[in-house]
Structure 1
Amino acid sequence: MDIGLIQKIYRDWRAFFATQNKFAYAMDREKQDGYFSLEQAEHAKGFALRDFKEYYHYYPWGRCPESLKADLECYYDQAVEFAKTLLIWVEQYSPLDVSQCFSESLSAMIEASQQSLLRVLHYPPMTAGQQQLPRAAPHEDINFLTILPAADGPGLKILSQEGDWIDVPNRPDQVLINIGDMLQEVSAGYFPSTTHQVATPSGEELSQGRMSLPLFLHPRPEVVLSPRHTAESYLHERLLELGVA
């Protein structure tokens, strides 16, 4: 991972989110690309309040400000290739009784997929009166794997198997890998989805924003995940639950 490129993306997009130009790229509810404002942000499944965040959904086929596109395109390609390698390893080391659940190999499921999503995510500074709002309430991601390079500030927490919330260190050279719901679904629960949240800050941290750059690796829509779901039907169900479709 090119850490310098990630930090440049954070600087450039933080500046973009501070402009009114972002509204020219308002999100498309059908395609799910473009800019999601604070009022359009998702809420975690089971939570009524929307997360206090704004973000931009980038796909290579989608819209993007021209001055910011080259860096996102470069990082997207890097992150997708890295994620594909990790998924191949998951497949190779899955127990036989688990891999026999797969309708096709995991690597084949993502071949030529146009659904993998790069999210440029900005958690704005907050006031004391906004402390009741979640930056990102506890949730699981929808996709196979999430590639999460270090954010430019702390706050990420992971739920352990024992039910404890663990503060994730925020080192500039780290990359975290989260399992998503689709990998849980396709493995009949063998690979449990990672429950995580971004804690609402307090004290001096309230006035500090936070940038993050998750890559969500998705299979093709027609891929059969399980007897009850294709990738398309699963994604649609979750988008409805999140309040963005």
Structure 2
Amino acid sequence: MNPVLPIVDFTSPDAPRAFCESLHRTGFGVLKNHPLSSELVHGIYDEWLRFFQSGDAQKYTWDPVKLDGHFSTAVSETAKGNDIRDFKEFFHLFPWGRYPAEVSDAARRYYGLGKELAATLLKWVEDNSPEDIRSKYSVPLASMIDDCEETLLRVLHYPPLNGEQAPNSIRAAAHTDINLLTILPAATEPGLQVMGTDGVWIDAPSDFGLLIVNIGDMLEEASGHYYPSTQHRVLNPVGEGAKKSRVSLPLFLHPRREIKLSERYTVGSYFEERMQELRRKG
């Protein structure tokens, strides 16, 4: 067991407290025996890896307005404070967006199940917040994600390292998530690291079947920084691992735009400020 990111049994009576304590200390929590089916996740990983490797993803080039569809390695993200693109490709899935005909509806089903679980976890977060922190939430945390059309399921493919990537690029440079909460099943390969409170990078547990949950910037803002949005990254593999793809499945839980995050921001104003930062950088 990782001493910094303890693994919490979802079925334990003490799970809500222990999980939220980990979120408060590190910005991350790790769950086992959670209700998201490992069989479902494994099937999504397998079929979407084939989808990316076949080249079919290129039929669904990303929409610059709606932001759904396929983002190739050529247009991949550049982390805030970095000037080199991450070496990855991904597909953005929204309930209203395009969905590839080449794969089953498994990712759609996972989206719904993930949102249900997220509502439970957000209730845990609120119930285990100190009273002075809980009083800051403008509405119950779980209700913030109700009917939000911006909650995003991203299917990520990190290709094998083939020498085509830019010098000094890594699979995902250090960053925080902008949203409320992110839930992430353990990926097909290790590599995820979390910044500890001492500034030292630590490996996140990577056993298949675990569920990794992290705080996003919006929940940090809403909680007055009680729950920290912690930097994390995905390192390049070495040795035989460099020849393997890595697939992961983060679900980014977004609150509705009109929700008041804090005295300073609504969700909409917070999001627009961040987008303007990225546009200026671009």
TM score, norm. by length of structure 2? 0.82
TM superposition shift of 1:94: 1.0
Aligned length: 245
Gaps of 5+ in 1: none
**8 Å contact kept, 1:59–1:116:** yes
TM superposition shift of 1:96: 1.4
Cα displacement string for residues 202-237 of structure 1 (whole angstroms, at most 9, x for unaligned residues): 222221110000111110111111232221232233
* Partner Cα distance (1:191, 1:201) in 2: 30
Q: 1:53 — aligned with what? A: 88
TM superposition shift of 1:115: 1.5
Could you say what secondary structure the match of 1:47 adopts? coil
- Written as runs of structure 1 = structure 2, the 5 A alignment for 1:118-157 is 118-128=153-163, 130=165, 132-157=168-193
**8 Å contact kept, 2:188–2:247:** yes
Could you say what secondary structure the match of 1:224 adopts? coil
Aligned match of 1:43 in 73, 78, 94? 78
TM score, norm. by length of structure 1? 0.94
- Written as runs of structure 1 = structure 2, the 5 A alignment for 1:1-245 is 1-128=36-163, 130=165, 132-242=168-278
**8 Å contact kept, 2:51–2:102:** no
Could you say what secondary structure the match of 1:147 adopts? strand
TM superposition shift of 1:121: 0.2
> In percent, how many aligned pairs have the same letter?
47
* Partner Cα distance (2:112, 2:188) in 1: 21
**8 Å contact kept, 1:224–1:231:** yes
Equivalent position amino acid for 1:142 in 2: I
Gaps of 5+ in 2: 1-35
Cα displacement string for residues 146-204 of structure 1 (whole angstroms, at most 9, x for unaligned residues): 11101000101011111111112311111011111010011111110021100012222
Equivalent position amino acid for 1:160 in 2: G
Point out 4+ residue stretches in structure 1 off by more than 6 angstroms: none
* Partner Cα distance (1:222, 1:134) in 2: 36
Could you say what secondary structure the match of 2:75 adopts? coil
Cα displacement string for residues 10-56 of structure 1 (whole angstroms, at most 9, x for unaligned residues): 11111111233212211112221111111111111100001000000
**8 Å contact kept, 1:42–1:51:** yes
RMSD: 1.8
